[in-house]
Amino acid sequence: MSDITREQILLIKRQTNYNEDEIREKLQLHNNNIEEIILEYINSDKRYTTFLQTNEETTTNQNIFKAIRENFDSCYEKKGKITTSKNKS
């Protein structure tokens, strides 16, 4: 535990919402690797926002544009590229 410096704790505190006790636990868990702690924090946050986005109800307009987007995506996958109208001379 003596390897944990005040600078490490302050750095993690600025980048996350962890308190000092949580930071000390995370430092022990990740063998004092600050980058792993911050990446874990970021990834857990992304999972939470993804969860919120998937559980929201969508409007009719969102469903229409989703269908259009999926149609374009499937056309792109079938042809391998998007075809455009003839080149203008």
Which residue's entry shows tokens 């490490």? 8
> Phi/psi class of residue 80: alpha, beta or left (left: φ > 0; alpha: ψ in -120 to 50)?
left
Return per-residue pLDDT of the chain as tens, 89 residues.
456 789 999 999 999 999 999 999 999 988 988 988 888 888 875 654 555 566 567 788 888 888 888 888 888 777 765 555 555 44
- By CB atoms closer than 10 A (0-12, 13-18, 19+), residue 58 is exposed
Whole-prediction pTM:
0.48
- Domain residue ranges of the chain, discontinuous segments joined by +: 6-79
